[in-house]
Amino acid sequence: MNLHEKYKLGLRYQDFLNKYGTDAHKTRWKQLHEQVTLTDAQKTLLRSFKRAMPTLCLAGAWCGDCVNQCPIFEHLAAVAPVIQVRYLDRDEHADVQQALQICGGNRVPVVVFFAEDGVEVARCGDRTLSKYRAMMQEQAGASCPTGITIGKDPLLAQVTQDWLNEFERVQWMLRLSARLRKIHND
């Protein structure tokens, strides 16, 4: 499957929410979006990005993990316009979901990074390391909490940094690619 062709079918953030989100979904995404902040150092790093980064995000407007992560991508892209995120709905694009399964299951969000010419560079998905660490602390004990909460959460800053690290890793892969350096004469 050519995932870059699927990227071209993807929607921008707000268009994705308008098409697939209920009013309740949109409210939750908006609340989380308003809580994401980037430090000056993070913004400086993002402004240093030079290579185009088409980025496909397979998501679900209904998904708690997507609510808690996808708004981060929009903050990164707002500072670094070379990051071009497009969203596909997991259920409408079952073929993409099948191709992007994680641990043998249908998980979202899953992000696929591309070079400017459509070559796939990397995949990342479902949850970040910080989130899994927090879940292990919460769930490895006698009780397992349920539900989705949105509030002042230091974990959000950690997850934001985790995602920034992934975007940075891909940017440096693109900047150091011999193939792309030859194209850009750098």
What are the structural domains, with CATH classification, of the chain?
A: 3-184 (3.40.30.10)
pLDDT tens-digit readout, 155-183? 999 999 999 999 999 999 999 999 999 99
DSSP collapsed to 3 states, the chain: CCHHHHHHHCECHHHHHHHHCCHHHHHHHHHHHHHCCCCHHHHHHHHCCCCCEEEEEEECCCCHHHHCCHHHHHHHHHHCCCEEEEEEECCCCHHHHHHCCECCECCCCEEEEECCCCCEEEEEECCCHHHHHHHHHHHCCCCCCCCCCCCCCHHHHHHHHHHHHHHHHHHHHHHHCHHHHHHHCC
pLDDT tens-digit readout, 73-103? 999 999 999 999 999 999 999 999 999 999 9
